[in-house]
Amino acid sequence: MTDASAEGPPKERTKEPAKERTKEPAKDPAPVVKCLVWDLDNTLWQGTLLEDGDVPLPDAIRDVVVELDSRGVLQSVASKNDHETAWARLEKLGIADYFVLPQIGWGPKSDSVRHIAETLNFALTTIAFIDDQPAERAEVTYHLPEVRCYPAEAATELPRLAEFTPPLQTVDSRRRRQMYQAGFRREAARAEATGPDEDFLRSLELDMRIGRATDEELSRVEELTLRTSQMNATGVHYSDADLRRLRTDPAHEVLVVTLTDRFGPHGAVGVLLLERRPEVWHLKLLATSCRVVSFGAGATILNWLIDEAARAGAHLVADFRPTDRNRMMEVAYRFAGFDETPCPCAADLPGPTGAGLQRLHLRPGPRPASTTVRVRAVALHPTRT
C-alpha cells in the first residue's frame, strides 16, 4: 500500500448510469515484500538518538524484526543520523546483524532506498519503507512511487499483513539474510582477488552436497523449478504434490544440491529429477540457481551425474526445451557431451510431451573430480553383477 499521507483528498465522483458502468478487471495482488527499510529515530527505537542518547527498543518491535527475518524478508535501514553512533547503538541493542546494506547519513531517504534496491537487485515493487515522519514518507513516495510506505505506528501490524507473508517459507528463506551477507563478503573478496579465476574459486573452499530431497527441502525444490528460467533445462514446473509422489517412486530420484563456502551458505542451488532404468537414466529436469553459475555449479553437477551413470553402465538421456532464456543450460549440456544422436536405449521411454522438447543423449564415461569444488553426494550406481 502507498502511504495515505502522501495523497491528496479524495475526489468526488458523479454517479454513472448503470448501463454505462463497466466492470474493472481484477488487479493482481501486490508482490510480497522482499525487503523492509526501517527509519531509526521514533520508528525502530523510541526517541531521537542524537538528542536523547538513551533510545530504547520496544520488545514488540524487536519481535517484528525477528519474525520478518524468520520469514525471509530482508531488512535494511535508511536513517538521517551519524553512522558510527547509530550503528554502535544497533550493536548495543543486539540487532545490528539483522540489517543488510544499512544507509545511515544525511542524504535523501529516497536515494538510500533506491541504492538498497539496486544493490539487492530487487524490483522497487518489492521494497517497503517505514518512517514516523510524513514528510520523509512523502519524499520516498514522490521519487519512488512503487515503494510501499508505512507509518511507524503500523510497525507491530506488519507481520499480520499479506504482503509480509511469503507463500513459501523454506529452509533457505529462514536463513536468507545470512546468505545475502555471505554473498556481500564473497563479492568483496572476488573484487580484491588477483590472478586466475580458478585460484579464487579454490580459495572459496566450495563444498557441494547432492542428496535425496527431505520433506523440509521439497518446498525449496518446488520454488527452484518455479522461479528458475535461465538455468532450467525444460521450463517445467513440478508442484510440491508431484515431487512428493515421485520421491516415493522407487524408479525416481528427487535430488537437491546445496552449496557452502568459507563465507557461508549458498543454500539449495539445484534440483535433479531422474528416472533410473537398467540401461538408461532419464534426466527429466535439471534446474540450478543463476547465483552459482560463475562457480561452475552446473558443470560440476552434470559431471558428477555422468560419472555415476558410467559406474552403473547406463546411458543418459536428458530432456531439454530450448528457450530465449536458458541458453546457458544448453551450453552446459553440449559442453558435457550431450547431443541429439538417436540411440536405441531411449526406445522404451515415453515419448516427449510438450512442444519443442528435445531428447539429448550421452554415452557416459568416467569423469575426473572437480579441482575447485568438493562434491559429497549420494551413490546412485547399483552394484552390477
The DSSP result for 5-44, as a single string, is GGS-PPPP-PPPPGGG--PPPPPPPPPPPSEEEEPTBTTT
Residue 382's pLDDT is what? 62
SS3 165: coil
Q: What spatial distance separates the first Cα and last Cα of the chain, rounded to whole Å?
A: 65
Q: Which of the 8 DSSP states describes residue 351?
A: P
Crossing angle of the two packed helices 327-336 and 297-312, in degrees rounded to 10: 40
Which pTM was predicted? 0.73
Given this model, what pLDDT does residue 169 score?
A: 66
| Per-residue pLDDT at 22 | 40
Element of type H or E holding 259: strand 252-261
Q: What is the pLDDT of residue 14?
A: 42
Residue 175 has what pLDDT? 80
Q: What is the DSSP letter of 302?
A: H
Helices (H), 236-361: 240-247, 297-312, 327-336
**What's the pLDDT score for residue 214?**
83
* Phi/psi at 149 (5° precision): -115, 145
Residue 78's pLDDT is: 97
pLDDT attached to residue 15: 41
Q: What is the mean pLDDT of each run of 10 residues along the chain (385 residues)?
A: 41 41 51 95 95 91 96 95 95 95 96 96 95 97 97 96 83 80 90 90 94 79 56 64 84 92 88 91 88 86 95 93 80 90 87 77 92 93 51
- What is the C-alpha separation between 99 and 76, in angstroms, rounded? 5
